[in-house]
Amino acid sequence: MEERSRGAAGRGESPSARAWPSLRAEPSGTGERRGLPRRGCLGAVRSACQLLLPVRLENYERMKALVTELQEQAEKIRLGGGEKARKLHTSRGKLLPRERIDKLIDPGSPFLEFSQFAGHQLYGNEEVPAGGIITGIGRVSGTECLIVANDATVKGGTYYPITVKKHLRAQEIAMQNHLPCLYLVDSGGANLPRQAEVFPDRDHFGRIFYNQAVMSSQGIPQVKAATGEQVSAEDLGGADLHCRKSGVTDHYALDDNHALHLARKVVRSLNLQKKVDVTIEPSEEPLFPADEIYGIVGDQLKRNFDVKEVIARIVDGSRFDEFKALYGDTLVTGFARIFGYPVGIIGNNGVLFSESAKKGTHFIQLCCQRNIPIVFLQNITGFMVGREYEAGGIAKDGAKMVTAVACANVPKITVIIGGSYGAGNYGMCGRAYSPRFLYMWPNARISVMGGEQAATVLATIAKDQKAREGKQLSEADEAALKEPIIRRFEEEGNPYYSSARLWDDGIIDPADTRLVLGLSLSAALNAPTKKTEFGVFRM
């Protein structure tokens, strides 16, 4: 996950630039700058977090270490296929893929990169940095666009299974948010040794071209800039042939820079007008520094924290109008603004009870009625279980919330800020519930249940089986059974494992959450919101 600034963003070339969040940071922590309300203002979250406590200091250092690791890993991936491949690439007169993106997007504007860790340690010793393809949202000639750039330094830009999946996910984002697609093509096509994994199925290589046709029919522009060296096979499929004879291409580019210039001109001529159907107010910085999140959350999921402390550090002016604060208080719901955009926020402060689920359902209905996007801050172990709660209707109340999440047509954005386990993942808009975007923090974990719980369940099954045979499972055997299960669940629940397989749209620095949400909201609001129609709620 990457966001970059190259100067003052927001000084746009078109009216849509005003809706693209600025990267210029204001001083944090005073509460009295640039007309912001003081800490005691109406609606502002009063932070009770004592950041100098030993536990907070420990949290800060441990989370900071995770963020440093994230940045170091991301920097390695940015290098693509290695020094030798980069030198060969540039020796042919070609720009590197990230250089192409830098020259394509508006000067000083951010590039919101997706799934930077795609393919990470996925193919054993065969490294495929970023899955061999760079995808993200950037502003081109004042218009927010979905950009797909092949990285020819990675296996010649050929398509591995993860490359196909990442490309298709980028197209899905474009379709959901009505974003023009810009393809910077420099690819050798399908990876032949893995052809059975990339060619024949529905969501394989051919689906890319199917999606292009469908998006074009929906009025979503598709622009392709084919880049590459001049070779002896020019007459077989080069620029001159396709511009003069076949008519396949529309413009003749002399080199990469010229092709990118032409692409910018094409976008400028699209005549797209962003129509935002929400009220946008002037953006305000939060009252508290963003990196205080490190000390609040830390890296140990068993340590509780108040999600409202996180909210205070990502919303405008730290103002949060909480809904039903005293009812079902393990689920926090309320309205706020991020970079001036209205949002409904749903965050976890514990396991979900019937009251929490009903409150969440009610709040989602309100957001849909008011056409307000929803941000889910997910840190959930699941729904409450036990005879008392089953008798009290937790199953049907949980189903109400899951139904509301599934049916809501307003833009939904999920950030996994802690644990994401079991049915709680469903109720808090996990990947299966089609959030427009889903991000993870480096401390996050995602699996059907925690490793220790899974090990205990499987050990209990083994004990019962032994008992039926008239035997007992010794403590040593039980420990030997549990250890690999716990290790496996820890490995498979890791955010890098998740991101490598595109279960999310990227791992982000918690301190960048506000910016990432602002960029995501701005992109999501390009698409008109369909009216939400709910199914039958079990009462």
**196-233 tens-digit pLDDT:** 999 988 889 899 988 988 998 888 888 777 665 444 44
**Is residue 253 very low, low, confident or very high in pLDDT (cuts 50, 70, 90)?**
confident
Report which residue type is found at 33: R
**For the chain, counts of helices (H) and of strands (E):** 19, 12
Side-chain-side CA neighbours of 347 within 13 Å: the count stands at: 25
Query: Could you tell me if residue 303 is inside a domain?
Result: yes
Same domain assignment for residues 312 and 376: yes
Same domain assignment for residues 315 and 411: yes
Query: Could you tell me if residue 2 is inside a domain?
Result: no
Average pLDDT, whole number, for the chain? 88
Side-chain-side CA neighbours of 412 within 13 Å: the count stands at: 25
Same domain assignment for residues 261 and 327: no
Question: 146 lies in which domain range?
Answer: 80-231+238-269
For 256, the enclosing helix (H) or strand (E) is helix 256-268
Report which residue type is found at 456: T
Query: Could you tell me if residue 535 is inside a domain?
Result: no
Query: Could you tell me if residue 63 is inside a domain?
Result: no
Query: Could you tell me if residue 55 is inside a domain?
Result: no
Same domain assignment for residues 253 and 357: no
Other beta carbons within 10 angstroms of residue 175's beta carbon come to 17
Other beta carbons within 10 angstroms of residue 181's beta carbon come to 22
The sheet with strand 222-226 has its strands ordered as 111-114, 133-140, 143-150, 181-185, 222-226
pLDDT at 247: 60
For the segment 438-455, the average pLDDT, to the nearest whole number, is: 94
**142-191 pLDDT per residue, tens:** 999 999 999 999 999 999 999 999 999 999 999 999 999 999 999 999 99
pTM recorded for the entire structure: 0.88
Contact 511, 294 (CB under 8 A): yes
**Is residue 242 very low, low, confident or very high in pLDDT (cuts 50, 70, 90)?**
low
Other beta carbons within 10 angstroms of residue 478's beta carbon come to 17
Same domain assignment for residues 246 and 304: no
In this model, does residue 265 exceed pLDDT 80? Answer: yes
The residue among 449, 412, 443 whose CA lies nearest residue 510 is 443
Report which residue type is found at 90: T
How many domains are contained in the chain? 2
The residue among 310, 287, 292 whose CA lies nearest residue 517 is 310
Burial (Cβ within 10 Å: 0-12, 13-18, ≥19) of residue 193: exposed
Same domain assignment for residues 172 and 315: no
**Is residue 39 very low, low, confident or very high in pLDDT (cuts 50, 70, 90)?**
very low
Query: Could you tell me if residue 317 is inside a domain?
Result: yes
Query: Could you tell me if residue 86 is inside a domain?
Result: yes
> Which residues, at least 6 apart from 498, have a Cβ–Cβ distance to it below 8 Å?
440, 446, 504
Contact 343, 371 (CB under 8 A): no
Contact 412, 433 (CB under 8 A): yes
pLDDT at 387: 87
Same domain assignment for residues 316 and 253: no
Same domain assignment for residues 265 and 295: no
Same domain assignment for residues 297 and 187: no
Q: Dig out the tokens for 217 from the structure.
A: 């029919």
pLDDT at 282: 96
pLDDT at 258: 92
Q: Domain with 386 in it: what CATH number?
A: 3.90.226.10
**310-336 pLDDT per residue, tens:** 999 999 999 999 999 999 999 999 999
In this model, does residue 399 exceed pLDDT 60? Answer: yes
Query: Could you tell me if residue 500 is inside a domain?
Result: yes
How far apart CA 474 and CA 486 sit, in angstroms, is 18
Report which residue type is found at 84: K
Same domain assignment for residues 213 and 315: no
Same domain assignment for residues 265 and 367: no
Same domain assignment for residues 265 and 296: no
